[in-house]
Amino acid sequence: MKKTIAAAAMSLFGLAATSAAAETCGGFYTVQSGDSLSVIADKLYKDAGKWSAIHNRNINQIGPKPNAIRVGMKLSLACLDGLPLGLPGGKEISAAAPVAAVPVKVQPGNAAVRKRINLLTGDDFAPFTSKEAHNGGLLNEVVDAAMAEADPKEGYSIHWVNDWSAHLEPLLSNALLDLGFPWYKPDCQAAPDNFRCANFHFSEPMFEMLILLFADSSKPFQFAQDSDIEGKTLCRPTGYFTHDLDENGRNWLKEGKITLKRPRTVKECFDIVLAGEADAVALNEFTGRTAIKEHDLDSKITVLPQPLSVAGMHVVVHKSHPQAQQMLTLINGGLRGIQESGSYQAIIEDHMARIWAGF
């Protein structure tokens, strides 16, 4: 009898242990026959629209085309809204939940900062840099952590100037500040005369994101290859980069293969598409999805499942800066340090959980 009770107790203990072990969030998923990113997202996140979250997280392995996954590929999945559960390599749910958001505290300046390494960013570029976002936004926290890891003997300060048009010229060009972030890098091999390529050095990418097409749900079009875009009209607000539209032999703008509308705001772009005056809005997925949420466009706008491009975000230093190479070595060393320690991934996961919860 005692043996029976003991066996039953051990069985119950085993069930409890298995149950406890299953209460993890995120982890690794091995691609199976018949899978696509949207199928995986629907199966594990209960939301096929989260395919891009999987793609973005595994961009180095998958590449720019989401259909490039193959059977046996091991994908890393973030914990988003408490899902997926029970995958190997996941975190306990309590450990995966983001802590309460803490807006960045910008310290008042003084003459002492002139001796430090001074970095420049700006507000209103959520989720990357925003004073109201947790720790100043995803990339503000990454840069702050990288600089703390690099630990320059002279110290460092991050300054916020909201006039983005003044960052590259004159603030960085005149070395009034040393490093700026976050900035996209054009294809400098194909376009060495591009202003940024000709005048700035770029750090290793801090973060890579998908540039997606957002179309009217009532008349979405097929985008599987570049030729599908020729003859179309796209919309991207003025001030946003356009180099991806001419890269890799596309020459969509250079050769007039597409029409590009450039209103002042993201909202105006979505209005233009819904009015039938453009076929799609072309934006990074976070800016686009944020606009859809803010303006209640979920039922009206479709996110096309083929990325237009992949864009990296970098720290820049002007080529005329007297310590340009030392600055690059410093920030790249700090980025490598936080990547090797795991703190970089922790920052990304924390912010991605917040960002997707907002969508």
For 171-187, the pLDDT digits (tens) are 999 999 999 999 999 88
The whole-number average pLDDT for the span 306-327 is 96
Contact (CB, 8 A) for 64 and 307: yes
Q: What is the CATH number of the domain that holds 273?
A: 3.40.190.10
The answer to the question of residue 275 being in a domain is: yes
- Count CB-CB contacts under 10 A for residue 171: 18
Answer yes or no: do 218 and 188 share one domain. no
Looking at residue 257, its pLDDT comes to 98
Tally of domains in the chain: 3
Token pair in block for residue 41: 């997202």
The whole-number average pLDDT for the span 272-286 is 97
Looking at residue 248, its pLDDT comes to 87
Answer yes or no: do 303 and 223 share one domain. yes
Average pLDDT, the chain: 90
Looking at residue 110, its pLDDT comes to 78
Answer yes or no: do 32 and 89 share one domain. yes
The answer to the question of residue 104 being in a domain is: no
Looking at residue 22, its pLDDT comes to 52
Answer yes or no: do 157 and 128 share one domain. yes
Q: Which domain holds residue 53?
A: 2-96
Q: What angle do CA 28, 213, 305 make, to 5 degrees?
A: 40
Answer yes or no: do 13 and 78 share one domain. yes
Residues 86-103 have pLDDT tens digits of 999 998 887 766 777 887
Which range among 45-49, 131-135, 277-281 has the greatest average pLDDT?
Answer: 277-281
Looking at residue 100, its pLDDT comes to 75
Answer yes or no: do 290 and 325 share one domain. no
C-alpha count within 13 angstroms, C-beta hemisphere, residue 149: 22
